[in-house]
Structures are given as structure tokens and as C-alpha cells.
């Protein structure tokens, strides 16, 4: 890294101009010494054609603070520098000239910015009733500290990125920083190969006759851990072939392979001897430029079936291929990697499949969609001939219609409620009048309503044959209320539903029941939108902005998220109890909700217990509802609620501390600092050539 010096223009202003001899993608600059307190930091390029992607400050305790992008595309933030060493990092693409200006500032100027930001967001998003109610509650409680912290947080983090390209690092920069090989890396790999006995590999090309790119396939001959041979799938016969590779690496013929691919696969196979199929990450290129990173979650069958398949490269242990051939399967007729992966999955099961979060291949060619659709439809026909597939919500996706095991099972819809007759009535009307599914009952458990309209509504609905009203007395306890309602219900499936839910598509119950009827599925959640149609809930992920955060939060209608995730039903870590379906059998097996978690994390706890018992949690975009989020509840920062929230958080962490990093829908190469699935500039997986083996 070149040396650049700060210039102090006056007592409170510092400037540095970063003009490297060659364009860089990242600058790491120590802030001026003895800088502390409130300062305004402005970062700009001197050339409008250059792209700034992120700015952050890291203190000497390792805490990192990200700046929000201004509407003009640069970074200008008021920041409270802590005493000690502070490191400023700037990322972008081919940065040839960057200027940083630091001026002394104050909390008053920050508050002015916060207020302006809040006003702009009000005009942009409108006034949400929940936000207005929360503000009034904060003022009534004189909890001005909470009010201030909320506004500052809003300024620092909002609006949250609703675009997967709005990250702090581009795919090209990410590949340069984390997948490039320098001289020390090459020496380490060569030394490792010389002194250790690694597994052997053979490459198997698919569709080599249809499209053969010599430039791409020559990368197979440049492997640092050389492969024994390169075979063609059409002529491949494991029963009679003389190939000697312990592992077979199947690739599309037009795929470019990283030089350390076999070395990385070998290291991973040694560290995970239980793995018999390895699926690494991949990338897309346009010319010589990396444009997308395909960061894979662990094996997620629903995501593979509903989305883009498995990718352009996978490694399978030779014994698995031999075993598959012995069953009579003719792999030489296979046309794509997804078909091979699904065949191996049926033979192996999920536990023997491992993902490798390293980008070991790249392709500039889109997979043949018709061929992939045919592969998946044929696979599903073998699973159950009653399954049918239709066009998904966007191109390159599919909607899989799972059959219901028993004819029209009964669903019990459990709704805790208090006052707010307008919310409850709208929710019930959607169930009664706008839902296609007919075999249901509604259990409303009322928490001491005392408003006239609410009491009249409760009396009215209690007279219906399909509805029952229960009374609950005492402190609000979501778990206990639902447990009581469940005991009084008679359905085969239970649907937890908030009273501030609004039905907008008629087949939502049918969709939830169809997934809940699947053999290994324990919990199913719905797509929940805010009234402005942006995403409120599309599955929960651990450590995503909090203990459990909402993936793709605030993404607008029509945006299908990272790799079309918002258009595909798939496994997730957990779903919200605002709309959650589970079977009565599993509910009884797990003992319902944990009543010690009265308000927070009871839904996540139930999902984790279901997963621990061997069941999957599925989120589906085809059960779509509006969630007027927590309109009938207060705010968790209220002094009366803060202690309760802290205790429930501590209990939840104590119960699941060894399970909090387990996410079937996320990759360690994606950021935990935003909900938009952008690339992380601090990936949580190190390549084998950059860590001590």
C-alpha cells in the first residue's frame, strides 16, 4: 500500500488526497492522530466515472461503523471518533483519485441531519400508523433517550438497501481481494502439495459436444493440484473406465475453473470426511469482468428445485458414482449438473452433501432454462406423480404445487387480540370472505378488551359456527395465549396469525397446508408485506442485523431479491409467528410455544426446536399477506418492556447459543450488516491458502 499523508489546513480540518500510481479497489488509511469527538467525514472521487461502493471506520477495539451513501452517490457522515487509533476504509472499483475531508462537528449538527433525514423519509414512505403510535408512546413515557437512539439509528442505517447491488464491495473487487493468488499463496499451495498426500481428482465434462471453449477448458490443465485426467460424460462409464480419481469433478464445458479448485476441494474433503458431494460457489462473467457471485447456502432442495439449479461445478466421490451406476442409472445420458446432483442426493441423503464457500468456477453462459425445467419436472414426477409445476413469479423460477396428504384437512387459525376492532375485523373478513379454503375454524383469544366496538365484534363472531372466542386474563403472553387456544382447537393443522394481518390472495391457506403436509416439513411461513407493498417478512436469518433479522426487508414489490429468492419457496432458519403454520402432531410433540418467552423469540424458538427434531422450516412467497406490523402492541424500548426483552433475549441465547450460526438459507460470503444479501467485505470463511492448515 502506498503512503499518503494528511494535511492539516487549520485546527479542525484535515484533508488527504489519495492518488495511487495504479487504480486501486480499496484504500485503508489511518485517521489523523489524536482525532476524537464529533467530526464530519466527506469522501468523494475527483472523477464522476469512478465508482465508490463503501466507506467505514474501524476503532482500535475492532468495532466497525459503516457510512450511509448520500443521494449524490458519495459518503458524507457526522461521526463520533473514539480515542485511540481509527482506520478509514474506502472501497470501489478502479479508484484513481479519492479525497477525504474531515471537519470538526457537533451532536447538534448531527441532530439536524437526523431530523432532515426523518422528514425526507416521511415524504418518501408516508406516515405508518405503527410509527406514529410508537412516537406518541415514547413521548408519553418521557423516554427521550429511546427517541434519540431510534432517530440516530434511522439516520445511520436507513433507508436499508433494497437492491443486492447496493453493497460495499463489487463482485470484481471481491474476487480480487479474496480469490486471487499472490506469490506467497502460490508458494504455500506448492509446499502443501509437496509435503502432503491429497485425494486425487478427475474432471468430467458435460455437454462438451454442444459447446466447446478451448480457452475455458485449458484451465483444467493449469490446476495447481493436477487432475489425473479429463473425461467426457458422454463416453464416461464408471463400471469399466480406468480412471483413478478418488473424486470426480463434473463441470459444464464452457466453465472457467479457478487454478486452486482441486486443491481447495481436496482440503475441504480432508476436513469433512463425511462429505461425499461438494458444491462450491461460482461466478458470472462478462468478458474479463466478474459481474455476479453465486454465494450458496447449505444444500437447500426447495431452492434448487424452484430456482436456478446447482451451478456449473460440483465434486462427487467416486464411490457414490459407482454405487449409482450399480443401481442401473445411466449417467452418460445426463444433460446438466442439476440432474447429477439430484441423483446423488437421492442416493446419499442431505447429510453427506457439503457446500464450499469458495468461488471455484465462472461462466458467461446462462444455463439452458428449458432443459433445467424438464430435469426438475422429471425429478418431481419420480417423487410424487401428483406434484405439478407451473411458471414462477419471474423468469428462471418455478412454482411447485405439493399435494395435500389427506383430503381437505382442518385448519385451526389462532388469533390473539386486544381491542382494535378495526384490525381484527379486517383480518377476520379476509379469512371468512376472501379465502378459498373452507375447512377451517377460528379461535380468537381475547386479552381483556374493554372498548365497546371490540366487545361487540367479539360477541358477534362468537355466534358463528366456525369461530370461538376465549378470554385471557393477566399480563400479555403470546406463547401462553396461543397454547391455550391450541388446546381448545380441533384442527389437523394450526395457523398462528396476528390480528393485524390482512388477506390479499385467496389461496394462502391452501399454500401453507400443502407445504405443511410434506413429510419432512415442520413449520411454514408466509410472505408478509407492509401496506406500501415492500417486504416485511421473507424468512428470518440469525445475526442479520440482530439476533434474528428479516431477510430482504423493505425490498419493493416487483423486486425478487438475491438470485430470485423472493420468488422461490425454500428452507429458512425461522419464520415469524405473525403467520406460521404447523401440524398439530408436531405442536404436541414439541409442547407448543415456550411460555417463558412471552413476547420475543417464541416463534424462532419453536422453529429451532422443529429443526432440531429433524424437520424443515419453509418460507413461501405464494401465501402473500399484508402485515400492519405490531399496530396493537407498544414498543420494546419502553422502560416497562426493556427489562422483559433483555431477559427473554438472554434466555433465548442460553437455549440456542450453539445453534445461532446455523442458517440453511445464507452464505458466509454475504454480509451480516444489511438485509439485502450483498457481498461481505469480511467473509466468514477463509480460503485454505490463507489460513494455517
* Cα 319 versus chain centre, distance: 34
CATH 3.90.550.60 domain extents, the chain: 411-656
Residue 150's pLDDT is what?
A: 59
- The tens digit of pLDDT for each residue in 478-507 reads 999 999 999 999 999 999 999 999 999 999
- The tens digit of pLDDT for each residue in 431-451 reads 999 999 999 999 999 999 999
Contact between 571 and 515 (Cβ < 8 Å): no
| Domain covering 7-105 assigned CATH 2.60.120.380 in the classification | yes
CATH 3.90.550.10 domain extents, the chain: 171-383
For the chain, give percent helix, strand, coil, nearest 5: 30, 25, 40
> Within a 10 A sphere around the Cβ of 466, how many other Cβ atoms?
13
Residue 636's pLDDT is what?
A: 47
CATH architecture of 411-656: Alpha-Beta Complex (3.90)
Residue 387's pLDDT is what?
A: 95
Q: Which CATH class is domain 171-383?
A: alpha beta
Pairing of strands 501-503, 7-10: unpaired
Point out the least confidently predicted range of 204-218, 264-278, 525-539, 612-626: 204-218
Residue 583's pLDDT is what?
A: 97
389 contact partners, CB below 8 Å, separation of at least 6 = 373, 376, 377, 380, 398, 399, 400, 401
Mean pLDDT within 4-18: 88
Pairing of strands 570-571, 521-529: unpaired
Q: What is the dihedral of CA 149, 556, 536, 533, to 10 degrees?
A: 110
Q: What is the dihedral of CA 27, 33, 39, 40, to 10 degrees?
A: -30
What phi and psi values does residue 37 have, to the nearest 5 degrees? 80, -170
> Within a 10 A sphere around the Cβ of 165, how many other Cβ atoms?
14
Q: pLDDT: is 216 or 265 the higher one?
A: 265
Indicate whether 204 pLDDT > 50: yes
* Cα 355 versus chain centre, distance: 16
Indicate whether 290 pLDDT > 60: yes
Residue 483's pLDDT is what?
A: 97
What phi and psi values does residue 518 have, to the nearest 5 degrees? -70, 145
Nearest CA-CA partner of 672 in 168, 55, 281: 168
The continuous run of DSSP H or E covering 382 comes out as helix 369-383
| 522: exposed, middle or buried (Cβ count in 10 Å: 0-12, 13-18, 19+) | buried
Q: What DSSP assignment string belongs to 544-583? A: SSSSEEETTTTPPTT---GGGGGGS-EE-SB--TTEEEEE
> Within a 10 A sphere around the Cβ of 454, how many other Cβ atoms?
20
CATH 2.60.120.380 domain extents, the chain: 7-105
Mean pLDDT within 553-577: 95
- The tens digit of pLDDT for each residue in 365-409 reads 766 778 899 999 999 999 999 999 999 999 999 999 999 977 889
Q: Per the structure block, which three cell numbers stand in for 581?
A: 403454520
Extract the runs of DSSP E, i.e. beta strands, from 228-312: 229-232, 247-252, 256-257, 277-286, 289-294
Indicate whether 77 pLDDT > 90: no
| 613 Rama class: left (phi>0) / alpha (psi -120 to 50) / beta | alpha
| Band of residue 54 on the pLDDT scale cut at 50, 70, 90 | confident
- The tens digit of pLDDT for each residue in 612-645 reads 999 999 999 999 999 986 534 444 444 556 677 7
Amino acid at each position: 500500500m502506498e503512503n499518503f499523508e494528511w494535511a492539516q489546513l487549520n485546527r479542525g480540518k484535515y484533508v488527504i488526497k489519495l492518488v495511487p500510481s495504479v487504480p486501486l479497489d480499496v484504500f485503508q488509511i489511518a485517521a489523523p492522530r489524536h482525532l476524537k469527538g464529533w467530526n464530519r467525514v466527506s469522501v468523494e472521487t475527483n472523477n464522476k466515472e469512478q465508482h465508490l461502493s463503501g466507506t467505514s471506520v474501524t476503532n482500535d477495539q475492532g468495532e466497525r461503523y459503516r457510512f450511509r451513501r448520500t443521494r449524490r452517490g458519495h459518503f458524507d457522515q457526522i461521526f463520533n471518533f473514539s480515542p485511540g487509533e481509527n482506520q478509514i476504509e474506502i472501497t470501489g472499483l478502479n479508484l484513481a483519485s479519492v479525497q477525504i475531508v474531515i471537519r470538526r462537528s457537533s451532536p447538534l449538527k448531527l441532530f439536524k441531519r437526523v431530523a432532515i433525514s426523518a422528514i425526507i423519509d416521511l415524504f418518501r414512505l408516508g406516515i405508518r400508523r405503527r410509527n406514529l403510535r410508537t412516537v406518541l408512546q415514547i413521548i408519553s413515557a418521557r423516554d427521550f433517550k429511546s427517541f434519540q437512539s431510534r432517530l440516530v439509528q434511522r439516520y445511520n442505517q436507513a433507508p436499508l438497501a433494497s437492491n443486492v447491488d447496493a453493497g460495499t464491495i463489487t463482485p470484481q473487487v471481491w474476487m480480487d481481494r479474496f480469490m486471487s493468488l499472490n506469490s506467497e499463496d502460490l508458494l504455500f499451495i506448492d509446499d502443501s502439495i509437496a509435503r502432503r498426500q491429497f485425494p486425487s481428482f478427475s474432471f468430467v465434462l458435460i455437454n462438451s459436444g454442444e459447446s466447446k471453449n478451448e480457452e475455458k477448458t485449458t484451465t483444467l490443465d493449469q490446476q495447481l493440484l493436477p487432475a489425473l485426467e479429463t473425461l467426457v460424460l458422454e463416453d464416461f462409464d464408471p463400471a469399466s473406465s480406468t480412471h483413478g480419481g478418488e473424486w470426480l469433478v463434473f463441470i459444464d464445458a464452457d466453465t472457467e475453473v479457478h487454478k486452486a479448485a482441486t486443491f481447495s476441494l481436496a482440503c475441504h474433503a480432508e476436513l469433512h470426511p463425511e462429505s461425499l458431494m461438494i458444491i462450491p460457489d461460482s461466478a458470472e462473467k462478462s468478458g474479463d469482468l466478474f459481474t455476479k457471485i453465486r454465494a450458496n447456502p447449505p444444500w437447500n432442495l426447495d431452492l434448487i428445485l424452484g430456482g436456478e439449479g446447482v451451478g456449473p461445478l460440483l465434486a462427487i466421490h467416486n464411490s457414490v458414482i459407482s454405487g449409482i451406476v450399480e443401481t442401473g442409472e445411466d449417467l452418460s445420458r445426463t444433460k446438466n449438473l442439476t440432474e447429477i446432483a439430484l441423483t446423488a442426493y437421492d442416493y446419499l441423503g442431505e447429510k453427506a452433501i457439503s457446500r464450499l464457500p469458495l468461488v471455484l468456477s465462472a461462466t458467461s453462459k446462462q444455463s439452458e432454462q428449458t432443459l433445467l425445467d424438464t430435469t426438475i419436472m422429471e425429478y418431481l414426477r419420480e417423487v410424487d406423480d401428483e406434484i405439478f409445476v407451473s411458471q414462477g413469479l419471474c423468469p428462471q423460477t418455478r412454482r411447485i404445487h405439493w399435494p395435500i396428504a389427506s383430503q381437505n384437512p382442518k385448519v385451526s387459525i389462532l388469533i390473539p387480540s386486544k381491542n382494535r376492532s378495526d384490525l381484527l375485523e379486517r383480518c377476520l373478513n379476509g379469512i371468512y370472505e376472501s379465502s378459498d379454503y373452507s375447512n377451517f375454524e377460528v379461535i380468537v383469544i381475547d386479552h381483556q378488551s374493554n372498548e365497546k366496538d371490540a366487545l361487540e365484534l367479539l360477541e358477534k363472531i362468537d355466534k358463528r359456527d366456525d369461530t370461538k372466542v376465549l378470554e385471557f386474563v393477566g399480563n400479555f403472553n403470546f406463547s401462553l395465549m396461543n397454547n391455550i387456544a391450541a388446546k381448545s382447537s380441533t384442527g389437523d393443522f394450526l395457523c398462528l396469525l396476528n390480528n393485524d394481518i390482512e388477506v390479499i390472495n385467496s389461496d394462502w391457506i391452501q399454500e401453507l397446508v400443502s407445504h405443511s403436509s410434506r413429510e419432512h416439513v415442520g413449520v411454514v411461513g408466509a410472505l408478509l408485506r407492509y401496506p406500501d407493498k415492500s417486504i416485511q417478512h421473507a424468512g428470518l436469518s440469525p445475526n442479520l442485523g440482530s439476533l434474528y433479522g428479516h431477510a430482504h426487508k423493505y425490498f419493493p414489490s416487483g423486486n425478487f431479491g438475491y438470485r430470485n429468492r423472493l420468488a422461490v419457496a425454500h428452507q429458512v432458519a425461522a419464520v415469524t409467528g405473525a403467520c406460521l403454520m404447523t401440524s398439530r402432531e408436531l405442536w404436541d410433540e414439541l409442547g407448543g410455544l415456550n411460555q417463558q418467552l412471552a413476547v420475543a423469540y417464541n416463534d424462532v424458538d419453536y422453529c429451532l426446536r422443529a429443526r432440531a427434531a429433524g424437520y424443515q422450516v419453509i418460507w413461501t412467497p405464494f401465501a402473500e399477506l399484508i402485515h400492519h406490523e405490531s399496530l396493537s402492541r407498544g414498543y420494546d424500548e419502553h422502560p416497562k418492556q426493556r427489562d422483559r426483552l433483555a431477559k427473554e433475549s438472554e434466555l433465548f441465547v442460553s437455549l440456542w447459543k450453539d445453534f445461532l450460526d446455523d442458517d440453511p438459507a445464507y452464505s458466509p460470503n454475504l454480509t451480516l450488516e444489511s438485509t439485502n444479501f450483498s457481498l461481505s467485505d469480511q467473509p466468514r470463511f477463509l480460503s485454505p491458502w490463507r489460513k494455517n492448515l
